[in-house]
């Protein structure tokens, strides 16, 4: 039997989430190392979402390369008395193009809810940022067989009030919480199934054309060993990568797997 050839019309997006790692000095030398390694690998978009203080240096070092820079959160207000928060204007001013919103660590440790995720997302889009929206179920939800319900609800609530036009600047990262930073990866089949569920929700909300276009990433212990199998799946259009994005060689191997 000839194997089924899946031709993807969507462009892969491989994004690193550095979390709270790397100083500005380390960032400069990391990008100096990474840029030549990924040079010419133009069949996917490459993004590094770095700590706020690193964005300026990262954008400066990445200028002229195929690496794009983003932040890891943004506040929904324009400015004001919100100690410790960052505005969309501030991100744009330091040349961030992307921002992660709703990462499970923000939801788990910093009290983010679907309501605040939705507000942050709308503000980011209004300021021309591209958003990587994270959704995903906890282990008990997967074990209870309610992954589909949980993830569908998150997508609906997080995208409430977002127009079809604005959706073009949204990437959805499906990140099962039990797979993040644990070394446990969803099987390619599990990941593909839930990414397919998300695509079906988008089809219901925005129509088939939008569902066919939207980039849906998998995230959760993706690495140089498992990336190719995950990225080969029909509904998986890229990865959001934590640990392995801190290693230039491993991250480059994932970028290569998406070519």
Residues annotated as part of the active site: 103, 175
Distance (Å, whole) CA 114 – CA 120: 10
**Smaller CB separation from ligand PEP, 196 or 242:** 242
| Stretch of residues binding ligand PEP (CB under 6 A), selected from 119-127, 154-162, 206-214, 215-223 | 215-223
Q: Is 151 in the site for ligand PEP (CB under 6 A)?
A: no
Q: Is 219 in the site for ligand PEP (CB under 6 A)?
A: yes
Dihedrals phi, psi of 186, to nearest 5 degrees:
-65, 150
Q: Which of the ranges 74-82, 137-145, 156-164, 220-228 carries the binding residues for ligand PEP, by CB under 6 A?
A: 220-228
Of 206 and 256, CB closest to ligand PEP: 256
Distances (CA, A) of 3 to 27, 79, 259: 42, 55, 19
- Name the residue with the smallest CB distance to ligand PEP: 242
- Tell me which residue has tokens 């770095």: 50
Please state whether 116 falls in left (phi above 0), alpha (psi between -120 and 50) or beta: alpha
- Which of the residues 169 through 188 are near ligand PEP (CB under 6 A)? 175, 180-181
Give the number of residues in contact with ligand PEP, rule: CB under 6 A: 13
Using CB under 6 A, pick the residue from 17, 197, 217, 252 that binds ligand PEP: 17
Among 38, 48, 101, 241, binds ligand PEP (CB under 6 A): 241
Q: Segment near ligand PEP (CB under 6 A), from 51-59, 64-72, 144-152, 219-227?
A: 219-227
**Does the footprint of ligand PEP cover residue 221 (CB under 6 A)?**
yes
Q: Establish if 243 lies at the interface with ligand PEP (CB under 6 A).
A: yes
Cβ at position 15, least distance to ligand PEP in Å: 9
Rule CB under 6 A: which residues touch ligand PEP?
17, 19, 175, 180-181, 219-222, 240-243
């Amino acid at each position: 039997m000839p194997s089924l050839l899946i031709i993807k019309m969507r462009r892969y997006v491989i994004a690193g989430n550095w979390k709270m790692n790397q100083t500005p000095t380390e960032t400069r030398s990391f990008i100096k190392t990474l840029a030549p390694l990924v040079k010419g690998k133009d069949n996917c978009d490459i993004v590094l979402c770095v700590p706020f203080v690193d964005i300026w240096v990262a954008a400066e070092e990445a200028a002229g390369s195929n690496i794009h820079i983003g932040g890891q959160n943004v506040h929904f207000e324009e400015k004001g008395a919100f100690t410790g928060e960052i505005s969309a204007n501030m991100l744009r001013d330091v040349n961030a193009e992307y921002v992660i919103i709703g990462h499970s660590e923000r939801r788990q440790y910093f009290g983010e809810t679907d309501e605040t995720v939705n507000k942050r997302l709308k503000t980011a889009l209004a300021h021309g940022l591209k958003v990587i929206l994270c959704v995903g179920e906890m282990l008990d939800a997967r074990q209870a067989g309610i992954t589909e319900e949980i993830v569908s609800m998150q997508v609906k609530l997080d995208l409430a009030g977002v127009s079809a036009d604005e959706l073009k600047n949204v990437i959805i990262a499906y990140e099962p919480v039990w797979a993040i930073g644990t070394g446990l990866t969803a099987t390619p089949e599990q990941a593909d199934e839930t990414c397919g569920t998300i695509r079906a929700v988008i089809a219901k909300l925005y129509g088939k054309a939008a569902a066919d276009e939207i980039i849906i990433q998998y995230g959760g212990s993706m690495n140089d060993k498992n990336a190719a199998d995950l990225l080969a799946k029909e509904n998986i259009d890229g990865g959001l990568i934590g640990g392995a994005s801190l290693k230039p060689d491993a991250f480059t191997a994932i970028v290569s797997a998406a070519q």
